[in-house]
Structure 1
Amino acid sequence: MIHRQETPEAVYIHIPFCTNKCHYCDFNSYVLKGQPVMDYLDALEREMEHTARLAPPGQIKTIFVGGGTPTVLLPDQMASFLQRVRTYFPLTAADLEFSMEANPGTTDKEKLLAMKKGGVNRISFGVQSFDNSLLAGIGRIHNTDDVYRSIDNAKSVGFDNMSIDLMFGLPNQTVEMMNDTLDKALALGLPHYSIYSLKVEENTLFHTLYQKNQLPLPDEDDELDMFLLIMKRLKAAGYDQYEISNFAKPGFESRHNSMYWLNRSYYGLGAGAHGYMYGQRHVNIKGVQPYIDATRAGLPLLEQYEISEREAMEDFMMVGLRLLNGVKRSDFHKQFGVELETVFGSVLLKLLDKGLLQRTADGYSLTEQGVLLGNDVFGEFLSPVSN
């Protein structure tokens, strides 16, 4: 498999600190107050050094800094962090995409300048909604004024490649409220929008409320109507739905996330980060202090395991079909040395018969109905669990 030889061209780095924990969030994140931020950045540097020595990077094409909220770092901390990244993962590619997640209200001009000077050239703002009552209801501490101010600040220091995340299916959200949010979001004229449905995850406040029947979610019909509205509005505004939840103007697709969807290898650094290198996936230790301590002895691994050829093939199909262009036979053959239909012929025929997949010039993609039932499609490629 190509994954056993491929040196990653993508880097994910996790900053686990945030101003507060949102009610829906199950990410590995911790409230900033009292956290050893500089000790964590020192630990990150140790992990970068260990990683770069064991798996020397070639030319890096994408870097993504997520969290948590990376932009809770102070300007001097941000500058220090980005200098360390450049030391171990040189920013030499002419078309490098260097993205950072940001929360509205945490990006003043001084911090944005530190980000830009440090090599960041793309910002993804976690907006979620343009309805202040909904924002309060999901535990966000920003309001719509913060969104406008943050985007204006970013533009003023020279950022033009920006994205915002929105959510639908939120408690008490109506189709009309979603439409109003889309009005305001599209009025910004940004090159990229990510729009996800709420998932009630375990170990969140929302899960606790859901278990008590105290979470007023929209019904399935309204949630479907929201998704249909989103696709209609974004298409009419000139955005290509290149992935189930992502919309972009031509040339502004997220190239880092596309590495995941194309099942490519990537470095994963930081507390709780996931990585995929040389046919092995790993997960790092999650706690901040345990992570810091572990880096003093070597790589801060919680677990590491080899991906079998069959698992890699299943992953290829499940993540690749999220892209609206679908999967290519040629890519499958390049990665695995066998024909796509030889491995998944019966599943493909079944999904073609159901009208959930369609043939393309070099493979298969979701139909319009398949986009709406994506999880059902992806599940078909999983091997049955044996007892």
Structure 2
Amino acid sequence: MYPSSHEKESASDASAIRSWSESLRSDPYRSYLYSYPHKTAYRELQPRVPLSELWRGEQAETFFLYMHIPFCGARCGFCNLFTLPDKRRDAHLQYVDALERQARQWAPLVSHKPFARFAIGGGTPTLLAPELLDRLFDIAEEIMGLDPEKASISVETSPETVTEDRLRILRERRVDRVSMGIQSFIEAEAAAIYRPQMPLEVERALELLKREPFPILNLDLIYGLPGQTADSWLYSVERALSYGPEEIFLYPLYTREQTIVKPEDIRKRGGDLRMECYFAARDLLRRSGYIQHSMRRFSKEDEGSAKTLLPYGCQEEGMVGLGCGARSYTRNLHYASRYAVDRQATASIIADYVAAERYDTADYGFVLNEAEQKRRFLLKAVLHSEGLAFTAYKDRFGSDVRNDFPELEMLLQSGMAVVEQGELRLTDEGLAYSDAIGDWLISPEVRERMEGFGFA
């Protein structure tokens, strides 16, 4: 494990900085920090927090509405998300009934701010029957008050669930971003991560998607798969590019607690090629006219919605998460249902959600004090190519980020970051190691809770 970010005071000389950067480079894929604080830092809240009080004081000018559909056709070998392989229509119907019940209770609490974003994720939302998928939009618009003319709307899908009737619903509901996980165009590589996916099925889904006028098609790919080579990885990237997606996400393979794929599966091929694959794909995408926004996200310069959208801050506060497994973010509190990966535990949590009559308190989450709010603001900005604006931080917190986080000097002295026009940005090398940098910046308090989390 590389040195804590809080040890910077004793590591100011050149040799210490060199040692720090070498330790960072030696373990670039230690952890993927999807959000901060991480969901494994959440704990039971005592006392429970009434949502009426929580949302009344939320300072975000606009909100983000998210719905989580925790069902999928099969659990992939890399997945540690809150999702359950379950294709039963009656289970889906009961779940959507519960989501609507929750929405009716939450709507009066969050109706004082407009929704600038709406996303449906999972799981696989398009696993739902068309009439249930359509009903999610009714809940968003008729109950939650979403204006589809002013909000960016995104939906996740998978190749086997892309059908003409489902795409018709998305088109009619003004969806402007469809995201599909492909991971690999090579059947053997998909099989190695326990993903029952045929290349012809992927091609069929892509052909259907490209006929539709969605402003943004996003495709997800994963590198570092068992048996994958740098050449086979670039083949998948090139196949994805041939469909002209407006956005591509490149994810390194992670093996984590309770994922089916284990570290030894990566080592079987004799070496870890993830960094080599990253650089090869990054360079190809840049040559192809894509702009890099983070270690993972690349987009075409002209990607975007034709709508006149309401503004929404990149810090993702004001996140209203409906559904079991959805996280909600206010400035002072992040909360959700309990988290599990094990099938039995996940099914039990979903069953409790479906059976519940009231959803008007937060009972599981993380309270952010000012120090953690500052750290979240820093992390959300610095891990993206747009960088951290010093004035934005000072406007929010009234202090200088360089004084609050002197360890940032380590990034500058090691060449992982630069300061330009009052903004701290990661260099190309820093972006490549941004997962390790994000893990390094976790506070000791959050790390202790993460390490103490017991998977069910």
- Rate the CA distance shift 1:282–1:151 in 2: closer, same or farther, 3 A: same
- 1:201-222 Cα distance to aligned partner (Å, 9 max, x none): 2112113xx4xx4554556652
Contact preservation (8 Å) 1:332, 1:339: yes
1:274 counterpart letter in structure 2: R
- 1:160-217 Cα distance to aligned partner (Å, 9 max, x none): 421100000111111010111111111111110001001102112113xx4xx45545
- 1:20-43 Cα distance to aligned partner (Å, 9 max, x none): 111111111111233511111111
Question: Displacement of 1:373 after TM fit?
Answer: 2.0
Question: Displacement of 1:95 after TM fit?
Answer: 4.7
2:416 counterpart letter in structure 1: L
**TM-score normalised by length of structure 2:** 0.77
1:381 equivalenced with 2:435 (yes/no): no
Question: Displacement of 1:82 after TM fit?
Answer: 1.4
**TM-score normalised by length of structure 1:** 0.90
Instruction: Specify the alignment match of 1:18 in structure 2.
Output: 72
Question: Displacement of 1:341 after TM fit?
Answer: 2.2
Question: Displacement of 1:237 after TM fit?
Answer: 0.2
- Rate the CA distance shift 1:335–1:79 in 2: closer, same or farther, 3 A: same
Instruction: Specify the alignment match of 1:235 in structure 2.
Output: 286
- 1:110-137 Cα distance to aligned partner (Å, 9 max, x none): 1111122233221000111111111122
1:48 counterpart letter in structure 2: A
Q: 1:152 aligns with which of 196, 207, 213?
A: 207
Contact preservation (8 Å) 2:223, 2:233: yes
Looking at structure 2, the residues matched to 95 and 247 of structure 1 have their Cα atoms a distance apart, in angstroms, of: 24
1:360 equivalenced with 2:420 (yes/no): yes
2:172 counterpart letter in structure 1: K
Question: Displacement of 1:252 after TM fit?
Answer: 2.6
Q: 1:291 aligns with which of 323, 331, 353?
A: 353
Looking at structure 2, the residues matched to 160 and 328 of structure 1 have their Cα atoms a distance apart, in angstroms, of: 29
Instruction: Specify the alignment match of 2:26 in structure 1.
Output: none
List gaps (5 residues or longer) in structure 2: 1-56, 340-348, 449-456
Looking at structure 2, the residues matched to 222 and 238 of structure 1 have their Cα atoms a distance apart, in angstroms, of: 25
- Rate the CA distance shift 1:57–1:89 in 2: closer, same or farther, 3 A: farther
Contact preservation (8 Å) 1:317, 1:378: no
Q: 2:315 aligns with which of 220, 237, 262?
A: 262
Instruction: Specify the alignment match of 1:327 in structure 2.
Output: 388
Instruction: Specify the alignment match of 2:169 in structure 1.
Output: 114
Question: Displacement of 1:371 after TM fit?
Answer: 1.5
Aligned-residue Cα RMSD (Å) equals 2.5
1:317 equivalenced with 2:364 (yes/no): no
Contact preservation (8 Å) 2:175, 2:214: no
Question: Displacement of 1:301 after TM fit?
Answer: 4.5
1:41 equivalenced with 2:96 (yes/no): yes
- Rate the CA distance shift 1:318–1:102 in 2: closer, same or farther, 3 A: same
Q: 1:252 aligns with which of 262, 284, 303?
A: 303
1:141-290 superposed matches below 5 A: 141-207=196-262, 210=263, 213-216=264-267, 222-252=273-303, 262-285=315-338, 287-290=349-352
- 1:88-145 Cα distance to aligned partner (Å, 9 max, x none): 3334264521011100021110111112223322100011111111112212222222
Looking at structure 2, the residues matched to 367 and 76 of structure 1 have their Cα atoms a distance apart, in angstroms, of: 47
2:351 counterpart letter in structure 1: Q
Structure with the greater relative contact order (CA < 8 A, sep ≥ 6): 1 or 2? 2
